[in-house]
Homo-oligomer: A and B are copies of this chain.
Amino acid sequence: MDSWRTGIVDAGPSHIRVRGHDVLDLMQRASFTDLIFLLHHDRLPSPDERRLLDAILIGGADHGAGAPSCAAARLAASGNRASLSAAVAAGILTIGDEHGGAGSGCMQLIATGLGRVNAGASIDAVARALVSEARAAGARLPGFGHRVHSDIDPRVAVIFGLAEGSALAGNGVRMARALEGAVRDLIKPIPLNIDGALAAVLVDLGFPPPVGRLFFIISRAAGISAEVLEEHLREKPMRITIPVIYDGVAARNQE
């Protein structure tokens, strides 16, 4: 087998370096959030960038034990006590397009839009075109609307407040705002949700679209871990039962 190439971690004989930075030095000076930024980027964050990433990671960590990610993890923790990693993994596996997944989709939408802006169009014109195209295709716009919050998710204001208060908001945030306006004009008022807000900011921080999903996974892993710990410390194994009603074909007489 050929060796694998990697540009992230140099686990050479005497030192471990992450993108050129000595891990021993980072352990003494940096925060975990700095390291997360560095692992997915080519540099450490500025203090304002770190603040913003901390807010994103804190905002997604846990929304209660009933969220699919935490509920699945507790089910695994209840049946499979011998493996903490199995329970955390079961929780992570619920994350996808429908659960925590809109961030990547909205980053892709914004990135597509900014590509057209770089080719000469205005942000507002591109936003209107993107909304019209999605409407014509019957596609949902990722990053807009929410199942639960009928009005603005308060985390959105925090994220945008931090971005705009620190001059980190750039064309990503501008495109998200323009999309929100185009949705209001062309469809109906549907506010940006938390996935849309962090998508806008992560684009401005220079991350590619898959990072929207990956940062949510890292963030939620912390919350899942705490739920798994509580299930182990406080509950009996196999305590969870889900009531089910069978409504399929009737019993047959076997001949």
A residues touching B (Cβ–Cβ < 8 Å)?
Answer: 1, 3-12, 15-28, 30-33, 35-36, 39-40, 42, 53-55, 57-59, 61-69, 71-72, 74-76, 78-90, 92-101, 104, 147, 154-155, 158-159, 162, 208, 210-211, 213-215, 217-219, 221-223, 225-230, 232-234, 237-238, 240-252, 254
Contact = CB atoms under 8 A, between A and B. Distances in A.
Greatest chain B CB density within 10 A among A24, A78, A154, A246 is at: A246
Contacts of A55: 27-28
B72 A99 contact: no
A243 B54 contact: no
A112 B92 CA distance: 32
Q: How many copies of the shown chain assemble into the complex?
A: 4
Contacts of A61: 18, 32, 35, 39
Nearest to A157: B24
Contact of A230 (B8, B80, B233): B8
A27 B158 contact: yes
A188 to B, nearest CB: 22
Contacts of A18: 61-62
